């Protein structure tokens, strides 16, 4: 059985995944068009989204948590634009 991760920890992990996507090195050959680079960055962003996507639906989620989730989703979209659409 998998371990239940608290919402606050999920928010922190999502931010870590976003940072990993930003820090992932761009390959010299192919640059931002390299398919494996694109796949890895999208995977980091997907993992970040998966970490927070159900938090706002839980009954224990506070308004502050819901606001954090909205902010993280915006950060994910912004990271996608910044990293992959240069």
31-85 pLDDT per residue, tens: 888 999 999 999 999 999 999 999 999 888 889 999 999 999 999 999 999 998 8
The ranges assigned to domains in the chain are 7-84
Task: Name the nearest CA neighbour of 83 among 34, 11, 29.
Answer: 34
- pLDDT of 33 reads 87
Q: How far apart are CA 29 and CA 72, in angstroms?
A: 31
Look at the pTM and tell me if it is higher than 0.85.
yes
1 pLDDT band, cuts 50/70/90, is: low
CB burial readout 9-48, b (16+ within 10 A) else e: ebbebbbebbebbeeeeeeeeeeeeeeebeeebeebbebb
């Amino acid at each position: 059985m998998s371990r239940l991760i608290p919402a606050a920890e999920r928010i922190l992990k999502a931010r870590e995944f976003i940072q990993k996507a930003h820090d992932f090195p761009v390959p010299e050959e192919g640059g931002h068009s390299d398919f494996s680079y694109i796949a890895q960055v999208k995977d980091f962003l997907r993992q970040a989204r998966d970490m927070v996507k159900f938090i706002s639906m839980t009954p224990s989620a506070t308004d502050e948590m819901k606001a954090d989730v909205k902010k993280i989703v915006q950060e994910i979209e912004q990271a996608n634009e910044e990293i992959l659409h240069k």
